[in-house]
Structure formats: structure tokens, C-alpha cells
Structure 1
């Protein structure tokens, strides 16, 4: 395919390795793309049954999973699917022991839905000792009158209503009719004992109310939304307010049937609306220091029942505030108003914000002098809230079971580190649209709001992860609030969010048995039912390092390395974080060399099969927008840190190493259904490097957030005609918001591929940019996504591999440790 290549874009900037690099042939180094494509082809016609000790598909592959006791890797993925039997072996392997849990993940096409089990007022059977839930890995005893917990080994007698005799194999005779005994992922309906409890009354409330705060258990209710619109001058002038109102107007039919919503607007005052009245009168609260709700009824309505009233109001709001814009935006008081409206029931606050809050609670001073803080100890201050009020608001919302999501459409600095902390602490999401352009990004905004409303969501969530005897939990990473040492609290938790949990040995594990992980999320569904989402996995225990590496999972390991690095942003210098990442990568490869590889020359770099792509993914983490060396605004860094601390394994792999497609080289059948399987034929992706590109080619790069179409300067006029309907590169409009739909074979192919990707992301559309070679600014974004090149202030993949190799050689030849100090291994083990 590649007879020549283009020169590296002149605006790419990086650094060479220090010292004398080992010469490495770029054509012979391991390719992440080859591993991804091999795995994709291996699993596209296969079924994954989840047996302990079996190979697991990569997160980037599309597979069909059958749950036979182990939860699908979509829900729970391990860094190694074989657990070391001792802490010594775990330390020798240097593979972090981590579970990545995405409890509400979307199922694959045709997969069985998660079963819903109702035990009535008795609730699901639980261990009397560790409070673990009944699951397929429990052992039945005493003729079926008791079960032995696989987590702690304690025997618990069953209620008479749940008793069943055992057959000759010591299985319950009703085993096949009990979903909780057959599948690893189950939803339990739970009784009133599991209801959320209102927070204890405080001496100082964040809002004013004539009524005393609710106490005791709260009855589950269908999900309530509060939509809060910034109506300040910035929002009006940028077109954000009109686009936000139009987007919500178009999404009204997507709301869950029993849900309800309220609408709030704010500038330097707060504006509430009585939606029970056809005229939807506006009530203004000017006291933003002591926020209160000015109406008892009519604030929340069903979007279907009151659709006409809501539509009229959404059309009127942009016109109403266009004539009287204010400069200030009281975001803090608006969030406290949402907190007051949802207190006692929980829900979801969705904010459209266009400017930095400068008035009321959490008012922020001017923009910091970022340029003077980079590469100094003060830089860490850019990645933490400047006002602790935002942490307090986030903690208050999480405690009340309220999630906060924000659409940020600012034209200048907005301090994502401060206001974004509310979304991070409540399990919400940030949607980032700097210099918002309605013509280009309205469809993106619409797809994001639809996904927010329609995806599987639980609210008022409490999560606990349990592990079997001999293991203990040491740390958790993600966007949540911690309640005590073991429980994680989420205002909302949805299908796109995942958390990671690290483990440590507390004793020696039995190599003849399994280790177990069980995650349980207590939540309220959108239709108002209290449930527990349970996920289980059984993992073989091994005593050889080779077995640990044999079933090591590169996706989960890279996921952990990224989150571990991001978690240090507010305390460590960026250069130290990047150096630690390099040493952590070298530690794993050195451990394999020492424990598993045959004796060979120290000049030979030995890579385990499971971790062949680890160096390039480690380099990709260093080049991510939150950690890269080039000066990046703190808002951009903080947004990407928030995203990567919440996104799924699949999304983070595509973000770190974006798929690159050569559209000029598609086979005729690519992008069309296979006549035998009826599955869309997806083309092969290529390596992220200019070395493999051609000046006459057209390439598509998509990291899930942004999609860039790069067009070479020597492109064929026929290609342009097939894709854009013009035959001259200079006549092509680089500001096109999307690829035009044409009646050509190539256009149909590309649109089918994009539709498939959009479906796999739950309908979310990335921003679209065109980059003509050496002509358009979007080429900078494209070249920065070429991970294997020398760019973003960081070295190329061959040079980075040389650095890793030299670190390993140094230890092999002279002994000691990598970097001469503590690495990630000491913090994990």
C-alpha cells in the first residue's frame, strides 16, 4: 500500500533521547495496530464464554459474550486473569493487580440482557460475615440448607423460602432456574432496608428552606432532571443559549417515561419557572447568598405531559435574555438551587455554562498566569480547585444522591479545575466545547445530550467492591466521592463510566482454588426502583510468573497506568509523572525478562506477548492532552483528566492510540455488510505515524472526541469528487461541519463506517475537522494524534523504545533499581 511517504509535518516538535540511543529499525518494532487487528479478526466470529483461565478479547474488539458465572469483560476487566499466589510473586512480576469495573456497560448486539431478580421483602441472600451476595461461585452445604461464601468461607443458612434440595453433584435441583446462580452479572430488586438515607441535619445548610430537611430513609422515585442555563452575555452572544434550548427541545421525546424535569436560568440572579401553568411564569430570586426555592408545586413536570409548555418556554428563553444580558454568572448559587430542588430524592443537574463564575458562592478571581507556572512547583496548583466551595458543593450533591453534568462552551478561561470538581465528585460528566461554534457543533451537542438522557443510568448510588480472603483493596481511581474506607458514592453512575480498584495480598492464596472479586452497586433506577447491580469474577491462582504474564491484560494495565499518572497531577511535577510512567513500563518488561525469558544477550529487548504494545501505549499516555510536555492550557488538561478518570477501557484505548484509516485505499467490500454473516466489513487500521502515509492519500483519524480528515497535497481529483463533490483541493471548504452525503461508492463506504463507529459509542458524534496538507490549522491536531512520531514535546516511538531498552540494560548490567528509587511497584504492592 505504501510506496512512499510524506515528510513529518514541520510544526511537529519533540525531543531526542539523551545519551547514546540504541539503533532500532522502525519497521521491526512491535505494532499496536497489528495486535488490535489480529484480536479483532480472532473474535469477530467467536463467542467468549468467560471460563476462568481463558484468554480474554481486547476491549477494542467486537465479541459476543455468554455469561456463565464470570461477568463479561465489558463489566469487569482485570490487569491479569491469573492471580499470583503471594505478594512476593506479585512484586516480582510488577504487573499491578487491578480490576476495572463498568457496572452499567452497554451489552453487545444479541447478548442476553442482565437478569432482574426479586426476592421480595427478604431481599437477596447475603453472607452473614462479609455481607457478600449469593453468586454462581458459592458452594452449597448441609443438603441445601446453607451455602458457603466464596469470598470469606463463612457458611450461611438460607431462608426457608429459598431452600432447595441438592442433586448428586451437590447442585441445587432448581439451579438452572436461578439466574443469580448461573450468571455473574445480576440486578437484584431490594426492599426498603436498602433505601437511601437522607443526610443528617447540619448546623449550616447550603440553601434556605422553611421546611425542615427530610430525615430517615427516602422512598425511591423516578429520576428528576434540573436543566440550568447560563443566560449571561457570553452565552447569548456565542449562540450557546439558543443551541442549548434547541437541543433540549429536540430531546424531549427521549426522556424516560416516568421522569420529570425542571428548568432554571441564571445570570447574576436565579430564575425559576412554574411549568404547571401554560404561561410558565418566571420567578426571580435575587438573593444568591441565601438560595431558596420560590414555589412548592409546578417546578417539576413530566416532559411528555407538559411538552407544549416546555417547548414554548425553550423558544422564548433565548429571545427574552437577548434583550437584557448581564456579564456575571452565578453558577455556584445555581447549583445550590438545584441541590435544594432535589434534596430528599436525588437526581441529575445538567448545566450549560459559558463563562467563569464571578459572583455568589464559589466566585473565582481572574485568570492565573499559567505561563509563569509551567515546569515549576506551582504548576500543580493549576490542577486543583482554587476555591474549596466547589468541593463542598460536589460533596453536598453526592451525599444527596445528585449528579452534576456540565456542557462548557466558553470563549476564554473558565477554570475547569474548580467548577469541574463538582462533576468529578458526583459521578457526572463534562462536555467541552471551547469557542463554541453553533454551525459546526450543534449536532455534536445534540448527540451528547441524547446519550446523557438515554443511556443506562442509576442515581443515588453506593458502590462496594469485595475480594476473597488473602486479598485486600488498597486504592480506587475514578470520579466519585468516598464514604468511609470502603464505599464509593455517586450522584449518578451511567453506562459510560468505569472505576478501577487496586488490590494487595493480605495472605497466601491457595493455588488449587480461585480468587474472587465481587462488585455491588446499590442504586435507584430511572423508573424509581431500588436495585443492586452485582458483578462477579473468579480468577485462577498461580505460582509461576509465566502464568501471570500469559493472561495479562494490556488494556486494563494501560488503563491503570493512565489513571495512576493523572491522579498525581495536583501533587507532582509533570516531568516526574512522565518519568515515572517510563520506569513503570520498564519495570514490567524487566520483570518478564528476569522471570520468564530464556537467557539471552542484554542487547536484545525481550517483550512478553501480552505486553508487546506496552511501550507505545505508555508513550501515548505521556502524549495525552492532560500529561503532554508541550504547554497546554490548564482548562484543556483538566478536562481531559476528568474524562480519562471516568471513561471506559475501550474509549481510553481509542483516545490514547486513535484508529487511523486510509480512505483512498479501501477495498471494494469495506463498509458494506458481508453477504454470509451480514456483519459490516470494517477496514484495517494503520499505524499512527506519518512514516506510513502518502501525499496522494486521504486519512481519517478519530479519537472519539475529534475526527480529523487529512487530505494530501497530491490527492486525486476523483477522490475529492467521490468524497466532497468538488475536484479541486483549493475549492474545498475546510469549515464543513460534517462529511457530505453523496451517491458514490466511496462516500457510502465512509458513511457506513462512521455510522458503525457512532453506534458503538452510543450515538455520540465527534467534532469533525478537515486538514489539507500544510494548509489548515486542524493539521496540528492531526499530527499530534500521530503517537509514534516525534511531537508534543516528546520523543518518537523508536526513540522511546530505545530509552526503555537502555533502562533495562542498565539494571541487567549493573544491578540496582530502575531510576534509583521507588517506582509504582512499591505503591501498588
Structure 2
């Protein structure tokens, strides 16, 4: 798959079909939709940033690109999307064959423009509103307070900071009043509108309320001094903020033994959103919510206060017996619309042994492009290290950018069904919108309130032509074009426009199978299928994911495989497709499809991360990587199979969310005997250290930071490895290899799965 990785390194795009079926019928026969996984602001080594505005087509608004046809004599360019002829403006008058502007260089299919207007008021600095839960035990409070004070240290000096704490009541802290701590208190069970909020927080004491119009920000009639009571530059409020955090106590209201704490998460988030909407609309503001338990008060509560009533499970959601679920979903959908309209981001840090409501909050976090971290405790390294990664501007910072708008333009035989990923529809309808909607659809423009270097969108297209596309213009006859435009505020404060233009060949008719197979990217295909199946499981009632995945795989193999009819032994797949069945086997067993043993919160969390990561990271979530360390050889990739376990090996499993270091029985005995501390067993000490170093290197690059599990063969934590392995040896098969292991499961092994696939594909 090296050439697909090279294409990604040039444009940040991976497509399952790099040669595209040219007609509607052929595309539907291909099973996997025509789609692309695109990382809008992926950093590139040698991409130029041009200091002028982009030149756009008069008709379809697409940007001048290397695929445009240029007539140097007449100073005209023809748009490859709508074939319209455009004149070059005077500042391009000196162009010729030997004097090209950068956007026409064939290698610059991805390019950036600095769109910051010259009359530009300096951009609003980044805004961080901390929303902190106080209904937790003292120990958790201590962990959280220490992480928050570290976080405040890491914030840029010019960034504006605000603080809201909540439990039974919501406390908005006035940081601009340094003499004594001052807070405004709101009742957790009451809905507070934006106008009520401004009135009660005495925004209009010095300056009367404007009679008409929206009240938002300094431009629209709020005095800057009233804004700076709640949002202050870090350099000015660091002392006040740290003293409030030091004094922070757990929620003082008593909780009877048979009840849950009164926690009004939704009211606190609603107040935070309204306050930011009034003070800094349209700026890159982030609400960072730190939540330590389930919401029990207000419109977004997920469970009643009575402890004997359990929190909703997947079964309850399937049977529609979670009474509060729909009300909470409706509330967070409304909150997501408000945040998208304001251009603000909701980040969620959920740390509790029980659920906190990630499944309900998902819509508000995902539509605003927020980050999400789920851990068992605020003292856990998963939370602490991930929070540092968000705010730390070092070599592996996330590159948090804001206020993005993403647009698509494509050839006229292609329509857009939608996007699955962290964005919200801007409802810009047009001839390019398909009637079939997948994800955020019926639009060609999306809002991305928050985006970072790794944020990736999955774009789903549809071929609309019934017959082969007409070869009207010979030179562009068998090419389809796509253009992705991302307008966003770079973390340096500049407004940038990133333009990526792609060209892909289409084929139709007999003999096109070889071409389609040659352009098939099986990793990208597996990731698109994973996002699609997760989306369908959430939106379609009575959807059977296993059956859908199996049918899709059988159709694909019978269309692209080599075989004689009804003879399974003759079946073979080209190397381009050979790993795809393996990906599907692991996807069927993954946490995206198998919800048994996971809470709705965990499932929502896994899917949110899958929906924002690039192809290589998503593949690790679907099919984990396994590396084997032993005395006989250096570290080498191993089969994800129970047969790989041996007593004298160490295995390192990376399943994205968890990294497992698994010591074989003999290695574990030697380690317990302390051999690695003896000078003559230096080699053993090195063997034990090597997987630790590799695990540290992986964790450094990744967000959220993965959980590290170190375990021994036959130990209780070995389940983290065994659950991911192909069960080729189970409790009812033949005896395993000496020193090996068996898995107690009734799941079929990959060999049986492949055997069934071959039998069904050749029918």
C-alpha cells in the first residue's frame, strides 16, 4: 500500500477506490462507497503558503489549480469542474510557460493561502472556559485540582480564561474582582436563558441594555469591563484562578446513602455556552468540561437520583426503556446548534468508574470538533497526560485551530451524500447534494468549530451517471475531479485557506475489474466500512451489523475475486484485496460492533475517536498490531493469533486505546526471580526494557494517551491481549503448542471464517 501512503503524504487523502467506477450501476456493484478520508490541516513539509488571495472560477467558485487548462496567449484559464472560461486578473499578467504561479505547479495539488485581511483587527486570543464538577470524593478532587493548576501553567499568557464550577448549584467565578473571591450562583434544576444570564450577572449596571439587536461581544454593546470580569488574560488572573482552585471543596450538599449526588452538568454547560456566546462570539473558544459522574439534575440528566435505579445500558436503549435518554439527547442537540452557531468547541474529560453521559454528550462534542478523554479516575495517566498534550505546545502538540469552514466541489457526475466526522452541516444546498444522506448531508459546506493536525473527515460520494459519462471534452474525458477547501484560523492567529485538488481516473464497462482492483486501498476501505457500520448502528433501528458486514464482504469478493463458479478451492484474491477479509473479521469482533460488555458511554467514546482519526490510526483500532520480542530474534511483527503466545516471548499489543506488554510464563518467572537485576543477565534486562521503550514512543505520539497494561501469561490482566487474538486454539480444539495458550470462546476462528467466505463467494 506504499503508493497510497505516498498520495496521503502529498494531499492528506486516502480513497478506497483510486480508480473510480464510472456509472451508478458499477458503483453500487462495488459495495464499498466512493469515498475519501481527508485530513484538512495535516502538516506538510514543503507546502507553500501564498501571501495573496485565491483566484476563483466565476461560475462554480472553485480555485485555480494544476488541473486547470491555461491559454497563456489569451490569459484565460478553463475550470476543470464546470468548463467555464475565466480571464486572469491584471496581477497575473506576466504568466507564461516558464513563469508559473505556485498554484499551477503540478506538484502543488495541495496549497495554502494566507487570507488575513490587511485591515485586520488582531485576532481574539484563544479562550478557555473550565467547567469543573465538584460532586466527587476528596481524593479525586485533589487529583483534579493538581491537574488543573498544571493546565493553567501551560496556557499561553495572552489566552483568556474563565471558570465555572458545579454540583447542586452552578457557580460562575468572577476572576476580575481580585480582592475577595466573588461568584454568581444559579440553581441547577432551572433553565437560564442568555438574556436572564446577562441580567442576573449585572452586565447592564454601568451601561444600559441596548434596545434592539443581538447582544454579543464588545462590538454589539457589551462593555469590555463587564466581559473582563469573567474572562481575563491568564497573565492577569493566574493568582486569582489558582487561589480559587486551591480553595475548591467538594459539593457541600449532603447526599443520603440511598441517593446519588445532585449533579447539574447540562445547566453548567448551557450557562458556559451562553456566557461565551455573549462575551466572545465567533472566536476560537473552548469549553473544557471535567466531569466525575452521572448527571442527575436538569434537562440533560441521564439517571434519577435513586441509587437502586441503574444507569441506562445498551439493552435499555435497544428496548427504548431509558426514560431520560431522549430528553437529554434533545437538550444536547440544541446545545450543539448553539455552540456551532457561536463557533465554540466543547471538550469533554470524563473520569469516573461509572458512566457520566458521554453517549448523550457525543452530539455536542462531535459537531463542534471537540476532544474527548475517558478514564477511570482524574489520577489516571490517561487523563493527566492527555490534558498536558492538549495544552502543551511542543514538537508533538495537537495544533489546535478554530473556526473552520470546509467545502467540497466535484465533477458534475458525482454528488455528495455527506460527511461522517467531527463537523456540522451549514445547510448549503446545491446541485452537488445527493438525495441519499449519510452523516451530515444535504449540504456542500460544513462548519468545523475546532480542528487539529489529525482531524480527519470521511466524505461519502455517489456516482449519478446511468451510462458511461460522455466524452465531451476529450482531454478531461476519463477523469473525475474533487476539490476540498478548508478556511480556518491557524493556531498562529492567521486566517488560512487550504485547497486540495485531486484527479482520479474512472473506468466503465467490461474489463474494468482489473483497473478497479489495481486502485483498491484495503486499509482505507476497512476504515470507511467501520465508520459506516458505526453510523448505521446509531441511526437505523433493527440494523444487524454482522449480517451487513458479511453480505458486503461476500459481494465484494464474488465481484473482484478469481474463481471458477461453485468451486471454493479455486478461489483467490489479488494482493490488493488479500488482507481485506482479515480486517472485516477483526472489525466484526471490535468494540465498534460488539457492544456486549461495553457501556453506552464506552461505545460512544470509541466511535468518536474512530470518527476523527486518520487511516493508519483507525486501522490499529480495527486490527491491533502485535510485536514479538525474544532472545532468538530482534523485535518482529507477529500474527494476531493465539498461536503466537509462547512461554519465552514478550508480546507488545497496540490496540490504540490500550497498549499491552504480555510476558510469557518463563519470562515472568525469571523476572519474579530478579534475574534482570544481576549483572551477568544484562541481555534479559534489555529484553524486558525494549517493549517498555517502544510503548513509551507510541504513547508520545497519540491522543488520547493510551492506557498501559503490563501482565503475565495466565494472569488476570492477560484478558486484554486474549480478547484481541484470533481464537485458532480454543478450549474444545486440539491441544495447543507446549508453552502456548488457549482461548475460552465459542467465536469462530479466522480460518473457519475464510472457509465460509470462499464457499459463499463462488456461488
Flag whether TM exceeds 0.5 (same fold).
yes
Counterpart of 1:477 in structure 2 is: 420
Counterpart of 2:86 in structure 1 is: 156
The aligned runs of 1:19-38 (5 Å cut-off) are: none
> For the residues of structure 1 that align with 2:415 and 2:665, how far apart are their CA atoms?
57
Cα distance, 1:376–1:309 mapped onto 2, change above 3 Å: closer
> How far did 1:437 drift?
6.4
> How far did 1:631 drift?
4.0
Cα distance, 1:786–1:743 mapped onto 2, change above 3 Å: closer
Do 1:228 and 1:352's aligned partners in 2 also have CA atoms closer than 8 Å? yes
Counterpart of 2:212 in structure 1 is: none
Quick check: 1:79 aligned with 2:16?
yes
Q: Which of residues 176, 182, 191 is equivalent to 1:282?
A: 182
Counterpart of 1:117 in structure 2 is: 50
Q: Which of residues 779, 785, 807 is equivalent to 2:718?
A: 779
Q: Which of residues 266, 269, 275 is equivalent to 1:341?
A: 275
User: What secondary structure, in the 3-state scheme, does the structure 1 residue paired with 2:636 have?
Assistant: coil
Deviations 1:213-269 (A, max 9, x none): xxxxx995232121111111x2x4451x33333223323454356432222211122
The aligned runs of 1:429-578 (5 Å cut-off) are: 429-433=371-375, 435-436=376-377, 438=379, 441=382, 443-450=384-391, 454-484=397-427, 485-507=443-465, 508-509=468-469, 513-543=478-508, 544-572=512-540, 576-578=544-546
Do 1:245 and 1:314's aligned partners in 2 also have CA atoms closer than 8 Å? yes
Q: Which of residues 613, 618, 621 is equivalent to 1:652?
A: 618
Do 1:228 and 1:266's aligned partners in 2 also have CA atoms closer than 8 Å? yes
What stretches of structure 1 of length at least 5 have no aligned partner? 1-38, 44-54, 58-64, 196-217, 669-682, 728-740, 813-829
Quick check: 1:296 aligned with 2:227?
yes
Instruction: Name which structure has the greater RCO, CA cutoff 8 Å, separation 6+.
Output: 1
> How far did 1:653 drift?
0.6
Deviations 1:670-709 (A, max 9, x none): xxxxxxxxxxxxx322111111211332222122211122
Do 1:383 and 1:570's aligned partners in 2 also have CA atoms closer than 8 Å? no
What stretches of structure 2 of length at least 5 have no aligned partner? 202-225, 256-260, 428-442, 729-742
Q: Which of residues 653, 656, 659 is equivalent to 1:704?
A: 656
Do 2:650 and 2:661's aligned partners in 1 also have CA atoms closer than 8 Å? yes
Deviations 1:307-362 (A, max 9, x none): 44444443333xx3376677222211221222123221332111111112222232
User: What secondary structure, in the 3-state scheme, does the structure 2 residue paired with 1:455 have?
Assistant: coil
Cα distance, 1:767–1:369 mapped onto 2, change above 3 Å: closer
User: What secondary structure, in the 3-state scheme, does the structure 1 residue paired with 2:691 have?
Assistant: helix
Counterpart of 1:15 in structure 2 is: none
Deviations 1:530-568 (A, max 9, x none): 222222222223342211111211111011101110011
Do 2:19 and 2:520's aligned partners in 1 also have CA atoms closer than 8 Å? yes
> For the residues of structure 2 that align with 1:82 and 1:447, how far apart are their CA atoms?
42
Do 1:374 and 1:631's aligned partners in 2 also have CA atoms closer than 8 Å? no
Quick check: 1:770 aligned with 2:710?
yes
Do 1:698 and 1:712's aligned partners in 2 also have CA atoms closer than 8 Å? yes
> How far did 1:270 drift?
2.1
> For the residues of structure 2 that align with 1:684 and 1:536, how far apart are their CA atoms?
39
Instruction: Give the total of aligned pairs.
Output: 676
Quick check: 1:228 aligned with 2:134?
no
Quick check: 1:321 aligned with 2:259?
no
Do 1:264 and 1:273's aligned partners in 2 also have CA atoms closer than 8 Å? yes
> How far did 1:74 drift?
6.6
Counterpart of 1:173 in structure 2 is: 99
Do 1:380 and 1:571's aligned partners in 2 also have CA atoms closer than 8 Å? no
User: What secondary structure, in the 3-state scheme, does the structure 1 residue paired with 2:37 have?
Assistant: strand
User: What secondary structure, in the 3-state scheme, does the structure 2 residue paired with 1:654 have?
Assistant: helix
TM superposition score normalised by structure 1: 0.74
Do 1:223 and 1:525's aligned partners in 2 also have CA atoms closer than 8 Å? no
> How far did 1:78 drift?
0.8
Counterpart of 1:390 in structure 2 is: 332
Cα distance, 1:314–1:787 mapped onto 2, change above 3 Å: farther
Do 2:675 and 2:684's aligned partners in 1 also have CA atoms closer than 8 Å? no
Counterpart of 2:71 in structure 1 is: 141
Counterpart of 2:221 in structure 1 is: none
Cα distance, 1:376–1:310 mapped onto 2, change above 3 Å: closer
> For the residues of structure 1 that align with 2:392 and 2:384, how far apart are their CA atoms?
12
> For the residues of structure 2 that align with 1:151 and 1:194, how far apart are their CA atoms?
33
Counterpart of 1:330 in structure 2 is: 264
RMSD: 3.5
> How far did 1:579 drift?
0.8
Do 1:380 and 1:573's aligned partners in 2 also have CA atoms closer than 8 Å? no
Counterpart of 2:27 in structure 1 is: 90
> For the residues of structure 2 that align with 1:368 and 1:193, how far apart are their CA atoms?
58
> For the residues of structure 1 that align with 2:270 and 2:313, how far apart are their CA atoms?
33
> For the residues of structure 2 that align with 1:455 and 1:412, how far apart are their CA atoms?
29
The aligned runs of 1:660-679 (5 Å cut-off) are: 660-665=626-631, 667=633
> For the residues of structure 2 that align with 1:625 and 1:350, how far apart are their CA atoms?
26
> For the residues of structure 2 that align with 1:84 and 1:443, how far apart are their CA atoms?
48
Q: Which of residues 272, 296, 300 is equivalent to 1:358?
A: 296
Counterpart of 1:100 in structure 2 is: 37
Counterpart of 1:587 in structure 2 is: 555
Deviations 1:277-297 (A, max 9, x none): 555723122245216263531
User: What secondary structure, in the 3-state scheme, does the structure 2 residue paired with 1:361 have?
Assistant: coil
Cα distance, 1:251–1:725 mapped onto 2, change above 3 Å: farther
> For the residues of structure 2 that align with 1:561 and 1:580, how far apart are their CA atoms?
10
User: What secondary structure, in the 3-state scheme, does the structure 2 residue paired with 1:262 have?
Assistant: strand
> For the residues of structure 2 that align with 1:325 and 1:369, how far apart are their CA atoms?
21
Do 1:274 and 1:281's aligned partners in 2 also have CA atoms closer than 8 Å? yes
> For the residues of structure 1 that align with 2:152 and 2:49, how far apart are their CA atoms?
28
Do 2:530 and 2:592's aligned partners in 1 also have CA atoms closer than 8 Å? no
TM superposition score normalised by structure 2: 0.80
Cα distance, 1:385–1:516 mapped onto 2, change above 3 Å: farther
Counterpart of 1:822 in structure 2 is: none
> How far did 1:640 drift?
1.5
> How far did 1:133 drift?
1.5
User: What secondary structure, in the 3-state scheme, does the structure 1 residue paired with 2:40 have?
Assistant: coil
Cα distance, 1:190–1:721 mapped onto 2, change above 3 Å: farther
Counterpart of 2:754 in structure 1 is: 801
User: What secondary structure, in the 3-state scheme, does the structure 2 residue paired with 1:535 have?
Assistant: strand
Cα distance, 1:372–1:161 mapped onto 2, change above 3 Å: closer
> For the residues of structure 2 that align with 1:359 and 1:284, how far apart are their CA atoms?
19
Counterpart of 1:816 in structure 2 is: none
Do 2:413 and 2:463's aligned partners in 1 also have CA atoms closer than 8 Å? yes
Cα distance, 1:634–1:154 mapped onto 2, change above 3 Å: same
> For the residues of structure 2 that align with 1:382 and 1:631, how far apart are their CA atoms?
22
User: What secondary structure, in the 3-state scheme, does the structure 2 residue paired with 1:286 have?
Assistant: strand
> For the residues of structure 1 that align with 2:558 and 2:675, how far apart are their CA atoms?
48
> How far did 1:726 drift?
10
> For the residues of structure 1 that align with 2:675 and 2:502, how far apart are their CA atoms?
47
Quick check: 1:627 aligned with 2:593?
yes
Counterpart of 2:356 in structure 1 is: 414
Deviations 1:725-765 (A, max 9, x none): 599xxxxxxxxxxxxx9994335533442343234436x53
Cα distance, 1:443–1:363 mapped onto 2, change above 3 Å: closer
